[in-house]
Chain A
């Protein structure tokens, strides 16, 4: 069973540094300490070609870090790249004993509409005019209608996540917002508004993953990857039977929990590209029954001090979403939470956590269960 023994993170946001500098910022502490022990580098990145005019990013990163002879490759699975990279490392750690994962994305060189065009290219031709944010808006409309959910409950996710993000020094947006502010911010795609979507962020995150047999020689507080679940669904989103559910999340969670032999977790880091996604995902990971996630938000169950905290980091919604870095950064957050090192946003008694890294609109989901013992 692999273990995370070290982690690094940059501040997310609009950064002046380039993609290589960000990758280095997140990983230099690990590389300085363990460079000669690292057998493989996996770079999680989706759009260095489109956003930065850069190909072969993994080799450029290893050379920039003066690890010229360490094998490396890049994993691209759109927004789910980070989770996929960790899943790949999980399977490869028996051969390459010490694997450095670096998730990085530099997005702010493009404006919002350019970024939207690039990301929409993962949709089939007939759906590209829709864009992912508008599919989330459609989900919100259908969810409210089907379950009689209040509009406020969806917006409240942004209030909660901005509260958490304000406690996270690495978050892109570090200010609290009120329900009124969320509901009066500009409409992006009806009915969802600006504060209900993730911002466009630059950033990087890194993890050192080793086999559990030697984990304690690196740190006295390893965090174990107890279960990994991956599941996919059609890229043709409108062909799905149900547009108020994300079955790949449910399936990936079931696989991960089965492998981890875990029924419940103390917190979850979910893929809240839009507020409604957190609610639907909270149902798919089993925190709530279908159609009841919105009630959980209104009752405060998913708040930091609640019974089932979600996105203590601020989530993609407030922390930011540098595409290739996000899934890695979720595990950095789980690493800190489980070690009791999350500062003001620490979830009390956190020993087991779940992360969800999601590609496209649930086209591929990777769920990880992490804990403080093997």
Chain B
């Protein structure tokens, strides 16, 4: 994720802040989020696991997509693009 001193927070990297035009964007790894929706994908892109859950989670008011080996709800820990239940990992 990225943040800008103007307060903009985005899900993915950008060269310029879409709000203020600043080039001084900082990348950060989210540590936790709140699950908005979770659903299972059975036909996945080659090179990834054959089946997994997808998680739409909200972090600092921005939605991102994570993966999970199981359905998750509520607040989750985020590690390397994966959503983990609290108390796991």
Contacts and interface: CB of A to CB of B under 8 A. Distances in A.
Contacts of B52: 129
Contacts of B67: 129
Given A129-B65, A138-B37, A236 B11 contact: yes
Interface stretch (A13-21, A26-34, A118-126, A218-226): A118-126
Contact of A129 (B11, B63, B81): B81
A372 interface: no
Contact of A117 (B41, B45, B64, B81): B45
Interface in A214-254: 236, 238-239
A239 B10 contact: yes
B41 A134 contact: yes
B68 to A, nearest CB: 10
A129 B54 contact: yes
Nearest to B9: A239
Interface string A134-159: 10011001100000000000000000
Contacts of A112: 43
Q: How large is the interface on A (under 10, 10 to 19, 20 to 34, 35 or more residues)?
A: 20 to 34
A130 B12 CA distance: 14
Nearest to A112: B43
Contacts of A129: 44-45, 48, 52, 54, 65, 67, 81
B56 interface: yes
- Which of B46, B52, B64 has the most A CB atoms < 10 Å from its CB? B46
A131 interface: yes
Contacts of A117: 45-47
Interface stretch (A65-73, A187-195, A279-287): A187-195
B42 A138 contact: no
A163 to B, nearest CB: 25
Contact of A126 (B12, B42, B43): B12
Interface in B14-35: none
B86 interface: no
A124 B11 CA distance: 9
A63 interface: no
A124 B81 CA distance: 13
What 6 A-B pairs have minimum CB-CB distances, sorted nearest first?
A117-B45, A113-B46, A238-B63, A124-B12, A117-B46, A190-B39
Given A129-B81, A189-B39, 7 more contacts: A113-B46, A125-B12, A129-B52, A130-B65, A238-B62, A239-B11, A239-B63
